[in-house]
A and B are shown apart, each in its own frame.
Chain A
Amino acid sequence: DAKTTQPPSMDCAEGRAANLPCNHSTISGNEYVYWYRQIHSQGPQYIIHGLKNNETNEMASLIITEDRKSSTLILPHATLRDTAVYYCIVRVGLNNDMRFGAGTRLTVKP
């Protein structure tokens, strides 16, 4: 059972920022939030992760609210190749028990 809630689908115009929300209201203080994406018929691809502070890398930015009950993944300039299912995941415990939910299907349109 996933510890996160995401909208099932979102659209975004090519070149615009895509903002994908995630609720994780039951997250514990030492549990990380991870984002992965999965393009059809491929394995999930790591995007970014964080604990408390906002994070940025070459792919995306992760904004975590101060109470840590929700976060937003930002793709600053979406391209058609960003069309995928995006998973927001809370990692439970010390092993790689990543609780994937159903994710958000992001469609980037020309």
Chain B
Amino acid sequence: ETGVTQSPTHLIKTRGQQVTLRCSSQSGHNTVSWYQQALGQGPQFIFQYYREEENGRGNFPPRFSGLQFPNYSSELNVNALELDDSALYLCASSLYGGRGEKLFFGSGTQLSVL
């Protein structure tokens, strides 16, 4: 148990729709990172939020956006869903403090786009 919770656990959407995924970080952590994991592959970094601002982004289009709230919880929003967006979406929280940070992952949200 990492203390990082994600909701919902599973979600089914159709192409073109929009989706919001939620993450509650571990107590004491101030940074949230989001990852996408396609079937059979390792997770890919989407972006990171610190102090309610995005401060790092991977190779994902602008239709992937996020928010971080004052209590450090976070949302991932994906607009105009495509079939390739079907994946496990992982949230990880950490305490921002340089290169030695440890990430604590939630169990993820399994998104299926039909």
Contact A43 B105 (CB under 8 A): yes
Question: Which A residues are CB-close (under 8 A) to B14?
Answer: none
Q: Answer whether A31 and B105 are a contact pair too, CB < 8 Å, given A96-B45, A96-B92, A97-B45.
A: no
Which of chain B's residues have a CB closer than 8 A to the CB of A94? 56, 98-99
With contacts A93-B56, A97-B58 taken as known, whether A42 is within 8 angstroms of B107 at the C-beta atoms is yes
Q: Mark B77-114, 1 if CB is under 8 A from A, else 0.
A: 00000000000001010100011111111111000000
Tally of A-B residue pairs with Cβ under 8 A?
67
Q: How far is the CB of B81 from chain A (nearest CB, A)?
A: 22
Q: Are B56 and A96 in contact (CB under 8 A)?
A: yes
B105/A30 in contact, CB under 8 A: no
CB of B70 within 8 A of chain A? no
Residues of A within 8 A of B104 (CB): 46
Chain A interface category by residue count: 20 to 34
The answer to whether A43 and B42 touch (CB under 8 A), given A96-B33, A96-B94, A97-B56, is no
Q: A31 and B99 in contact (CB under 8 A), knowing A95-B55, A96-B45?
A: yes
Q: List 6 A-B contacts (CB under 8 A).
A: A31-B99, A43-B90, A43-B92, A51-B99, A98-B43, A98-B103
A-B interface, 8 closest residue pairs, ranked by CB to CB distance from nearest: A95-B56, A100-B42, A43-B105, A96-B33, A95-B48, A97-B45, A100-B43, A46-B102
Mark B residues whose CB is within 8 Å of A. 2, 4, 31, 33, 35, 41-45, 48, 55-56, 58, 90, 92, 94, 98-108
Chain A interfacial positions (CB closer than 8 Å to B): 2, 30-32, 36, 41-46, 49, 51, 87, 91, 93-103
